[in-house]
Amino acid sequence: MKMITSNIQQEEREIALWREMLAGNVAPFESLIDVTYDLLFQYGNKFCRDRELIKDCIQDVFLEIWEKKGSLNHNIPPKAYLLASLRRRLHRMMQKNRMLFLDHLLPDEGFDIAFHAEHQFIQTENDQQIASRITHMLNGLPKRQREAIYLKFFQDMDRDEIAAIMEIHPQSVSNLLQTAFKFLKTQWRSIVSLLLFLRFVA
């Protein structure tokens, strides 16, 4: 299959900034924060709704990287490394907060992403229905499958990167994605037949 060029370019830019940052330059470090901040914030938001806590954790992640810049690997893709660090730190902080606050009031935390469909992009009503049903299916997946799907299809992470971020074995990533797709496929069949039926009666 053909390579994904635009992502490669973006990734190359991030790696370049990463290396310059490791060499101790503040300006590329600032650019690196700038190009990754939205992603980190959105990802953090899927675990925790406290924006201040997320921003604090992102800050800590970057400050720690700056502190350890002498000992960090030059050749790793920075995006996956940043996401993994943020995930770990957020979990730690939330565990601490859970003890601090009203444990009985807090629902079960975890990666909680919701997908939605923006209907303005879609011309036909039929496709709008499909879009709504797909988002509904996605939102019905278990949290970990949703996280794997999110990282793979919406953040262009490969299997090993997802494994590093979620702290699981690469094989488990494949399994999560496979299970998710098996589910989507079966659901999909019922959607398609339903829509065909609807079109037929209409």
Give SS3 for 88: helix
CA distance 33 to 88: 18
| Alpha carbon of residue 126 to chain centroid | 29
Q: How far is the CB of 192 from other proteins (least distance, A)?
A: 8
Name the residue nearer to other proteins (CB basis): 75 or 121: 121
Task: Give CA–CA dist 125/116, Å, rounded.
Answer: 16
Min dist CB 109 to other proteins, Å, is: 8
Give the Cβ contact number of residue 3 at 10 Å: 6
Nearer to other proteins, 128 or 172 (CB): 128
Torsion of CA 88, 91, 97, 101, to 10 degrees: 180
Q: What is the largest distance, in Å, between two alpha-carbon atoms of the chain?
A: 68
Q: What distance in Å separates the CA atoms of residue 174 and residue 148, rounded to the nearest whole number?
A: 9
Instruction: Please identify, among the stretches 5-13, 77-85, 161-169, the one whose residues bind other proteins according to the rule CB under 8 A.
Output: 5-13
Binding pattern for the stretch 154-183 against other proteins, x by CB under 8 A and - elsewhere? x-x------------------------x--
Q: According to the binding rule CB under 8 A, does residue 100 interact with other proteins?
A: yes
**Binds other proteins (CB under 8 A): choice among 14, 18, 22, 29:** 29
User: By C-beta, is 149 or 163 nearer to other proteins?
Assistant: 149
Question: Which one-letter amino acid corresponds to residue 90?
Answer: L
CB contact at 8 A, 110 and 47: yes
Positions in 57-86 near other proteins (CB under 8 A): 58-59, 62-63, 66
Q: Distance between CA 4 and CA 119 in Å, rounded? A: 27
Given the rule CB under 8 A, which residues bind other proteins?
1-2, 4-7, 26, 29-30, 33-34, 37-38, 41-42, 45-46, 48-51, 53, 55, 58-59, 62-63, 66, 97, 100-102, 104-107, 112-124, 127, 130-131, 134-135, 138, 150, 153-154, 156, 181, 184-185, 188
